[in-house]
Structure 1
Amino acid sequence: MKSKFHIFLLLFCIFNPIHAADKIPKSLTLNCGSANGGEDSDGRTWEPDDKYLSPGSKTVIAKAETQDPSLSSDIPYMTARIFQSETTYQFPLHNSTSPTLLRLHFYPNSYPNFNISTSYFSVIAGGVTLLQNFSAYLAAEALSQAYIVKEYYLPPSEFPNLNVTFNFEPQRSSGAFVNGIEVISAPIFFDEDPVLVGSAGPANDFDSSTTVPVTTTSMELMYRLNVGGQFIPPTNDSDGLMRSWYDDSLYIYGAGQGVAVQANTTIGYKSLPSYTAPLDVYGSYRSMGAFKDVNINSNLTWIFQVDPNFMYLVRFHWCDSEMTKPNQRVFDVFVNNKTAANEIDIFAMTNSISTPMKKDFVVRVSNKTSDDAQIWVTLHPTDDTKPEFFDVLLNGLEIFKLSDNTKSNLAGPNPTISDMMKKYQEEHKLAPKAFETPNNQPNASTIVITGAAGGAAAVGIAAVIFLVAYNKQKRVPGADSGTSWLPISWNSNSTTTTKSGKSQGGVTISSDAASNCRYFNLAEIKNATKNFDESNVIGVGGFGKVYKGVIDGDTKVAIKRSNPSSEQGVNEFQTEIEMLSRLRHRHLVSLIGFCEDNGEMILVYDYMGKGTLREHLYKGNKITLSWKQRLEICIGAARGLHYLHTGAKYTIIHRDVKTTNILVDDKWVAKVSDFGLSKTGPNMNKGHVSTVVKGSFGYLDPEYFRRQQLTEKSDVYSFESCF
């Protein structure tokens, strides 16, 4: 009787596949190594992973020995599944005709009886190699981030299950591990084959351009940006896809950041599927502004570091909430200096205002090394159609790495830690030399980990690289690890070359930072300051003396020279460059360049003719401010701090707001300065970061001083103390 029942049940499932699929959830969120699963800080439920393991798997479960402050939740990161042999997960697919979003979470912390530093492994999903000889430990050390998230888009499969296999070579690796896995039944994001950039004929005949088949191609997410807007967390994503959308400002080339604008009309999806992107993406955008004469001779450009020798899909999200007729705002699109599209007119393409749309292009990056593998995205206003305005527009941008269909491969090389980081760690005994690649391991390349790095799409991604590293074995909650507490989505190269061609041997500056500011040699600095003449000293701070100088014949600058005996040094120097090279705001002091020559550490800023706020607050000091001037300075400084707290990719806490760090230019415009002690990180679900107290005592937030818990309110308290 039982046999007949089993046969009946089997036949029922075969001839009623829809009902069988209904029993399979659309998404799986697995807290690997956990017996009970749990709920994360966003309220998402994670289940145990053991029932999806192949029979006979040799694995152990482990709990991380320390919890990094950058973890927004202990789930899924505080437990791990450690594989002692090749192991396969088998995940039932909700619908074999739908694509799959696969996310892998790695937290390379210390685990009992497991050497994380020698863990090299590969991951294969649905026959595609996602990772090869991957070291989460090297990635985290090189990028100064605590955890890595890799996100993949897998096309519809003919099989009812998705097999994800972790394997490694026992003689060369201590094993493989994973902390969390997400398997989400996704809609069909890519329903047509995009044009290969650069394949058009000499007359830009795009109708005859080569198209790239992507509808059946596996992809890895590299970047996902909310252009002109703030970070959008997974819980605010559309259709439950749990994607993260990051601010774009850190990827903008040069000082021409344009203007970030919030739409003043209601945005609706209309004919665009809601899963394409959340409405918040289409409700904000970046343009060049209203200055026609400037715009027509300028570009708005973003630069992205990628893995070499792959093809990449670049998706543009557009929604024009201002133009009400055709030929008002028309622009050209270039990818890696090749024309992707001419005369983009959003209103003409959608035939209505505030209507979202998307457009895909594919570009081939054939560089042989990782150092120069980049994607440049450029928008330029056209005058061919004589439009009403000379401007450009972009709301969102996504970049996906395409698998090599002949090899079914998405794996890139491991990043390596910079030489400066190694030296600093060794000198300060902050980390053992175990992070170096073992002799029997293939060489790794110094690259940028993008995609969903550190909790997201690029994903990952970040405002400042701090040089102080930590020893994971010795880290304790509440102690200042010295490292940045956000997941940074780029890495400084071991040898960085600036625009002037100078190589920074003593301090490693990321290529993005170096390209955004000028390198000065020591001779130029001495000439500007008359060999550091004491008569040119205009201030003295914790970093060193500040000199008034003149460069390029008549440009006044402020030159800050490090004092070798100062308590502030290489870390503050690095932080200031990495921070200010990427931040541009009316109420933030502008960094022109730096000098790292002959052991000197020198920073060059715009000259602030009216000096510091402190000089004007007391009788007998320079000019006594009127109440109107005080109010304008107060509002300006507040706007600068507000931008740091809400306008950058991640929350930036200044940590040393005081009257000497608020400067005033010749037009009495207030600007916040001195970012050497700044901390930065993602939306603080915990509300604070634990760190040792730094800053000026008279301006310190008592709660920060007493509890060593830093928040944006710490800056607000210091700001109020200034006035």
Structure 2
Amino acid sequence: MNANSFHHFLHIFLNLIQLTCFLTSTAISAAPLSLNCGSKDGGNDADNRKWEPDTKYLISGHKSISTTALTHEPSLSSDVPYMTARIITGETTYKFNVNSTSRYILRLHFYPSNYPNFNVSNSYTILTTNSITLLNNFSAFITAEALSQAYLIKEFSLAAFNSDSITVTFKPVSRSTRSKSFAFVNGIELITEPDLFDDKVGLVGVSHNYGTIDGVSSNMQCMFRLNVGGQYIHPTNDSGGLMRSWYDDTPYMFGAGTVTHIANVTIDYRDLPEATAPADVYRTARSQGPDPNTNKQGNVTWTFPVDANFTYLVRFHFCDYQHDKVNQRVFEIYLNNETAFATADVIAWTGGKGIPTRKDYAIYVGDKSGEEELWVTLHTNIQLEPEFYDVLLNGLEIFKLSDSKSNLAGRNPVPSEMMQKQLIANRDAIDPDAIGVKHVVGGAMGGAATIGVAMMVVFVIRRRRRVPGTDSGVTSWLPLYGNSTSKSTVSGKSQCGSNLSSDAVCNCRYFSLVEIKSATNNFEEGNVIGVGGFGKVYKGVIDGNMKVAIKRSNPSSEQGVNEFVTEIEMLSKLRHRHLVSLIGFCEEGNEMVLVYDYMGKGTLREHLYKGNKITLSWKQRLDILVGAAKGLHYLHTGAKYTIIHRDVKTTNILCDDNWVAKVSDFGLSKTGPNLNQNHVSTVVKGSFGYLDPEYFRRQQLTEKSDVYSFGVVLFEVLCARPALNPNLPKEQVSLADYALQSARRGTLEEMVDPHLKGTITPESFKKFTECSLKCLADHGLERPSMGDVLWTLEFVLKQETKGDETRNDKKSGSTGGGTVEVPIQNSDMIAMHLNTLNLDDDEYDYDSDDGNAFSQIVDPKGR
């Protein structure tokens, strides 16, 4: 071999070595890595994805063992990777070779089951990667229980480390000298992330000017990823091979009613990387709807619980497939009531239909207010006078950015007192001999350790009780009753596995799916009269000529099933002039439907805000309020058991064709305390702006919580403005707070609806506002009962009626301007008690003129 040949051969050999090294160092970046921790053979998951064992990536695994979960949660999406685990008793590190210039997605899977010889409540973890703290004092057990989830997924987006390896280190945290602490992990994914972030992202709310953060070099945790207006998108349907899950946005919404859109269009990504979001995200959207007057007054708002003292990157995904010209739809974007962008015009950004784009903004969430929340609000831009007053959003992602100490760790959620008590009660119901444990737990004084012990006890017992197909986390529709001739299929999601009572089934008519489709012309979109968190509401006709409202559940909604059951259970046993009447229901296949009488005048809110065709006079508003108060008073005192509505608001007060007010939507209602209690401990639910602050703080529900919400309604009727309006100055955002401040300053008159000024007598105004302010008292004991509120409203109404008689003007619609005459009900408290306090007398009292109601026509958000 001559010298030239040798040098040529050597050159090829060196190139091969370099190529081999390059391929080795980028092996992870070329294909996703999925580890089934604690498994000897790896395995395939339910989607046939290959997971490999984790042992060869351990560089200090002598303080860890492989094990298998003792229980199998029916709602697990797959046995792989959740049924095996790596139990870590001392500091343990994984090492992965990576491309030093690439970002990576690190996804961790936790299944807080019990494992042989290990009590899952003793697991607290510190997790770091290179120099970044991802989790600190993390309890998968407490987190899963607090969130009512069987398993957890934590996802992090890591910036390039300028290193050829990533180390992931688990370290257990000792919480007690008497128990053995450990960490654990069930699955690890490491995926190369394309260039999806910008080096300069505007920081909102910094001295009213934009600062910037560097998205490229930031380490982040994905907190929320939503397919706005659409259904859940499975990881296998994600774009770019990133295996992300995109969730329904409905549970995070509150505010004005919205319309969802689904378009069968081709998405033209142009210069946007397809990995930004799958096409299905851009084919669905949420907007306000066709009424420009309503849209000018309202907004679309989402709220998210977040960790305080962190900066968040909020990514908006837009794709307009309805308009094609600039200034047809222009809107404002707000983060926590700070303007992020005032003139958002998707067509101006993209240049045409079906072309997606994304916009990133950052905001710091401190702890000054004590509320760890992030609000995202869209409002149509009125000043630019666009052709259509509307907003648009297709997708939303929220990322938490590491702080100055390279920390991403937040706190464990605090399990509520209600959760402990309820689960212990469930345990005692099936294991009376174990009641002594309750006293041990109750007497412990170990703070978080006490919670861990209590949660552990009930966790084990609850696992023993579970039967496949009956757990609250089971991902399937389940039959709600046993008498149906049709069977449910397994599809969609469910949050309820309990059956309806026999009384509920007997008292309601069961509709077949064929009947429902016939009534709505196969759920024709032209029949939609409202959209809510439960789903769409359709106008329909049954039995030839009977108008009905048909509320159809959205199978992708996380909140609908429990409300479906509660609504049937409640309304099947209640009959009252001022409560909605349920005709029947359908539960067949993957459909769940509620059927009510058609409600001709819709919600109270529709007739309050500027832009409506009908302007209600003061007497008309009082009459509606009296009717609603009668319905609530009956729930609190007249039914067989005290019933707390828990979601009183103007969209849940409906009016029939004769303007008779009825309380609707019993999906969140709870049976009140017995004689030995003064409250019900329960998870906080309700609508923002109407929520009792004492209930929020203490998680103790009483009928006075309804009184507080009704107090907000009283001011909403008086002032004709929403309970929450993030677009107003900070001190005016909350109507309740603003009313209390105005009362202290003596300026309540300035809040009154201009349509009412000069029509309310001073005595009536004084009596009405005194009652309303008492309803908003911070402590429930200081609030009046609903009976006292009703008495005051009837007194005010009679004073107004006497004033009319004095002026010989008995017409309630005399103010003109599109007002309508509403019949005044000349009832009083004594008559009301005689007619409504006996459930047996009213139970089957159907009146064709009084039973027209259906719940949740518009806007059941913010729960």
Coarse TM-score class (shorter-chain normalised): 0.5 to 0.7
Partner of 1:418: 416
Indicate the residue corresponding to 1:232 in structure 2: 233
Q: Secondary structure at the match of 2:280?
A: helix
Tell me the CA shift for residue 330 of structure 1.
Answer: 0.4
Q: Distance in 1 between the 2:188 and 2:35 partners? A: 5
What is the CA–CA distance in structure 2 between the aligned matches of 1:324 and 1:124, rounded to whole Å? 48
Confirm or deny: 8 A CA contact 2:106 2:156 kept in the other structure: yes
Q: 1:308 to 1:61 in 2, by over 3 A?
A: same
Does the alignment pair 1:597 with 2:595? no
1:65 and 1:480 mapped to 2: Cα distance?
19
What are the equivalent positions in structure 2 for 1:113-192 lying under 5 Å apart? 113-170=117-174, 172=176, 174-192=181-199
Q: Secondary structure, in 3 states, of the residue corresponding to 1:424? A: helix
Match for residue 389 of structure 2? 390
Match for 2:390: what amino acid? Answer: D
Which residue in 2 is equivalent to 1:67?
Answer: 72
2-structure distance, mates of 1:375, 1:130: 21
What secondary structure is seen at the aligned counterpart in 2 of 1:281? helix
Cα distance in 2, alignment partners of residues 331 and 482 from structure 1:
43
Give the unaligned 5+ runs of structure 2.
Answer: 1-11, 429-433, 476-492, 496-558, 564-603, 606-624, 646-651, 689-698, 714-843, 858-863
Provide the secondary structure at the position in 1 that maps to 2:298: coil
Report % sequence identity. 42
1:375 match: 374
Q: 1:669 to 1:280 in 2, by over 3 A?
A: farther
Residue 247 of structure 1 and its aligned partner are, at CA, apart by: 0.9
CA distance 1:44–1:129, shift in 2 (3 Å): same
1:664–1:477 CA distance, 2 compared to 1 (3 A):
farther
Quote the Cα distance in structure 2 between the aligned partners of 1:216 and 1:415. 29
- 2:478 corresponds to which residue? none
SS at match of 1:196: strand
Superposition pairs for residues 330-341 of structure 1, below 5 Å? 330-341=330-341
Contact 1:285 1:395 in 2 (8 A): yes
Check if 1:312 corresponds to 2:298. Answer: no
Report the TM-score when normalising by structure 2.
0.55
Give how far 1:484 is off.
4.3
Q: Distance in 1 between matches of 2:640 and 2:231?
A: 36
The answer as to whether partners of 2:300 and 2:378 remain within 8 angstroms in 1 is yes
Q: Distance in 2 between matches of 1:365 and 1:445?
A: 28
Answer whether contact 1:249 1:257 (CA < 8 A) is retained.
Answer: no
- 1:47 CA drift (Å): 0.6
Q: Distance in 2 between matches of 1:244 and 1:664?
A: 48
Cα distance in 2 between the residues matched to 1:166 and 1:666: 64
Q: Deviations over 1:683-716 (max 9, x none)?
A: xxxxxxxxxxxxxxxxxxxxxxxxxxxxxxxxxx
SS in 2 for 1:124: strand
> SS at the partner of 1:29?
strand
**For each residue in 1:112-155, what CA deviation from the matched residue of structure 2 results, as whole angstroms up to 9, or x when unmatched?**
01121111110001211000011111111222211111000001
Larger radius of gyration: 2
Q: Which amino acid aligns with 1:127?
A: S
- One of 663, 674, 679 as aligned partner of 1:557: 663
Q: Kindly provide the CA deviation profile for residues 663-682 of structure 1, in whole angstroms up to 9, marking residues without a partner as x.
A: 99989787699xxxxxxxxx
Distance in 1, Cα, partners of 2:374 & 2:68:
39
Q: Deviations over 1:390-413 (max 9, x none)?
A: 000000000000001x31100001
What displacement does 1:528 show?
Answer: 2.8
SS at structure 1 position matched to 2:216: coil
Give yes or no for contact 1:561–1:603 (8 Å, CA) kept in 2: no
Give 1:471 deviation, angstroms.
3.0
Q: Is the 8 A contact 1:258 1:288 kept in 2?
A: yes
Deviation at 1:240, TM superposition (A): 1.0
Q: Which shifted more, 65-74 or 20-29?
A: 20-29
Separation of aligned partners in 1, 2:305 and 2:24 = 44
Q: Contact between 1:561 and 1:602, CA under 8 Å: does it hold in 2?
A: no
Distance in 2 of aligned mates of 1:290 and 1:574: 38
- Write the deviation string for residues 89-116 of structure 1: whole angstroms up to 9, x where unpaired: 00122x2221100011111101001121
> Is 1:427–2:425 an aligned residue pair?
yes
d(CA) in 1 for partners of 2:57 and 2:468? Answer: 38
SS in 1 for 2:342: strand
Cα distance, 1:56 vs. partner?
5.3
Instruction: Give the direction of change, closer, same or farther, for the CA distance of 1:344–1:563 in structure 2 (3 Å limit).
Output: closer
> What is the Cα deviation at residue 525 of structure 1?
10
| Paired residues of 1:381 and 1:390 also in contact (CA < 8 A) | yes
CA contact (8 A) 2:63 2:89 kept: yes
Question: Which residue of structure 1 aligns with residue 528 of structure 2?
Answer: none
Matches within 5 A, 1:632-711: none
Contact map agreement 2:199 2:217 (CA 8 A) in 1: no
Amino acid corresponding to residue 71 of structure 2 in structure 1: T
Q: 1:45 to 1:435 in 2, by over 3 A?
A: farther
- Amino acid of the residue matched to residue 225 of structure 2? R
Partner of 2:743: none
SS in structure 2 of the partner of residue 275 of structure 1: helix
Deviation at 1:530, TM superposition (A): 8.6
Q: 1:667 to 1:290 in 2, by over 3 A?
A: farther
Aligned to 1:100: 104
Query: Offset at 1:257?
Result: 3.4
The question of whether the paired residues in 1 share the 8 Å contact of 2:313 and 2:360 is answered with: yes
Preserved CA contact (<8 Å) 1:224 1:398: yes
Partner of 1:37: 42
C-alpha contact 2:672 2:703 (8 A) present in aligned 1: no
> Does structure 2 retain, via aligned residues, the 8 Å contact 1:120–1:168?
yes
Deviation at 1:416, TM superposition (A): 1.5
Contact 1:312/1:363 (<8 A) preserved:
yes
How far the C-alpha of 1:265 sits from its partner, in A, is 3.1
Q: Is the 8 A contact 1:334 1:377 kept in 2?
A: yes
Q: CA deviation at 1:272?
A: 0.9
Aligned to 2:206, the other structure's residue is in SS state coil
Q: Deviations over 1:583-626 (max 9, x none)?
A: xxxxxxxxxxx9942699999999xxxxxxxxxxxxxxxxxxxx
- What's the counterpart of residue 248 of structure 1? 249
TM-score (norm 1): 0.64
**1:458-497 matched pairs, under 5 angstroms:** 470-471=459-460, 474-475=463-464, 478=467, 483-485=472-474
User: Whole-Å Cα distance in 2 between the matches of residues 51 and 331 of structure 1?
Assistant: 53
**Are residues 1:111 and 2:115 paired?**
yes
**Distance in 2 of aligned mates of 1:530 and 1:340:** 43
Secondary structure at the aligned position of 1:81 is classed as strand
**1:400 matched residue in structure 2:** 399
Whose RCO is larger (CA < 8 A, sep 6+)? 1
What CA distance in whole angstroms lies between the structure 1 residues aligned with 2:856 and 2:213? 48
How far apart, CA to CA, are the structure 1 residues paired with 2:299 and 2:14?
A: 62
1:529·1:550 contact (CA, 8 Å) conserved in 2? Answer: no
* CA distance in 1 between partners of 2:182 and 2:248 (Å): 36
Quote the offset at 1:581 in angstroms. 6.0
Letter of the 1:126 counterpart: N
Q: How far apart in 2 are the matches of 1:531 and 1:257?
A: 24
Contact 2:427/2:458 (CA < 8 Å) preserved in 1? no
Amino acid at match of 1:210: G
For 1:475, the aligned partner's letter is: R
Whether contact under 8 Å (1:121, 1:166) holds in the other structure is: yes
Please give the alpha-carbon distance, in whole angstroms, between the structure 1 residues aligned to 2:135 and 2:494: 20
Shift of 1:292: 0.7
| CA distance in structure 1 between the aligned counterparts of 2:443 and 2:282, rounded to whole angstroms | 44
**1:191 positional shift:** 2.8
The equivalent position to 1:197 in structure 2, one of 204, 215, 219, is: 204
Deviation at 1:544, TM superposition (A): 11
Letter in 1 for 2:375: W
* SS of structure 2 residue aligned to 1:429: helix
How many residues align? The count is: 536
Which residue number corresponds to residue 362 of structure 2? 362
Partner of 1:500: none
Letter in 1 for 2:407: N
Over 3 Å counting, the alpha-carbon distance change for 1:598 and 1:336 in structure 2 is: closer
Task: Supply the AA of the counterpart residue of 2:421.
Answer: K
